[in-house]
Amino acid sequence: MFPFKIETHQTIPVRAVQQRVDFANQMLTMIDSEGFDVGCIWFTDKAHFHLNGIVNKQNWRFWGSENPYWCEAKPLYSPKVTVWAAVCRRGIIGPFFIQETVTSERYVAILEQFVATQQVLEDRPRTEWFMQDGARPHRTEQVFRFLDEYFGNRVIALEYPKFTGAGMDWPPYSPDLTPCDYFLCRTLKDIVYPKHPATLDELESAICVACEFISVETVRNVMANFILRLRHLCCANGEHFESIVM
């Protein structure tokens, strides 16, 4: 008999709804009035890939105006790998595999590898932006100082403006806005899981191959889809919405 955990499905807090609307309006103003190119944003996130094919609750949620009190039983322990990656119009940087609990120090080590690769790809120095979500290890002085050194005011991250006085806040509860959630993670799992990797090494190898399989043209279409999502969010008054076909 395996131990099980119970996952409940939550509603989005009212304050977060307003934060989402504010972010969408600010970004759309930059796009419409200043000609801002969203393709220059490196969207980043991490995800868990399980050997048994279960899906991480952070990447698949049911949103609604009321809590339906649904419960889903899953094995408490499942062999998995944690993957961090970045995506923009240029393609994908990563995957980077995380073997231990994510700390600020380990996260900065990943960022150093990312920046080294990103600087090789970049043909217009100091123009590209960096986005990260609001995970607790991301919101530390060590991380913000690193991002400030390499990206300055071109950072979209929760609490980053409070620390540096520049950049933009990333709205919490927004997996429907980041391509890493609504595109990359789902696409990789659609490719990897049908192969039924038997070991963690096979799982990591399959993830690497899957990242190479995604074309730059596909990624560029995803960036265009991000603008559509911003406009749809405003129409939905900040509430979460169904997936939009790319």
Do 80 and 51 contact (CB within 8 A), yes or no? Answer: yes
Domain of residue 194, CATH code: 3.30.420.10
The answer to whether residue 148 is domain-embedded is: yes
| Number of compact structural domains in the chain | 1
Amino acid at 94: G
pLDDT digit string (tens) for the chain, length 246 residues: 334 443 434 577 888 899 999 999 999 999 998 889 998 899 999 988 888 755 444 444 555 556 666 665 555 567 888 999 999 988 899 999 987 888 889 999 999 999 988 887 766 556 789 999 988 989 999 999 999 999 999 999 999 999 989 999 999 888 888 898 889 988 999 999 998 888 999 999 999 999 999 998 998 888 888 999 999 999 888 887 765 555
The answer to whether residue 9 is domain-embedded is: no
The answer to whether residue 66 is domain-embedded is: no
User: Token digits for 222?
Assistant: 């995803």
Rounded to two decimals, what is the model's pTM?
0.82
The answer to whether residue 53 is domain-embedded is: no
The answer to whether residue 20 is domain-embedded is: yes
The answer to whether residue 193 is domain-embedded is: yes
User: Token digits for 215?
Assistant: 């074309």
Q: What is the dihedral of CA 184, 187, 189, 192, to 10 degrees?
A: -120
The answer to whether residue 64 is domain-embedded is: no
| Domain residue limits at 84 | 14-48+77-236
Do 43 and 132 contact (CB within 8 A), yes or no? Answer: no
The answer to whether residue 61 is domain-embedded is: no
CA count, 13 A, side-chain hemisphere, 99: 3
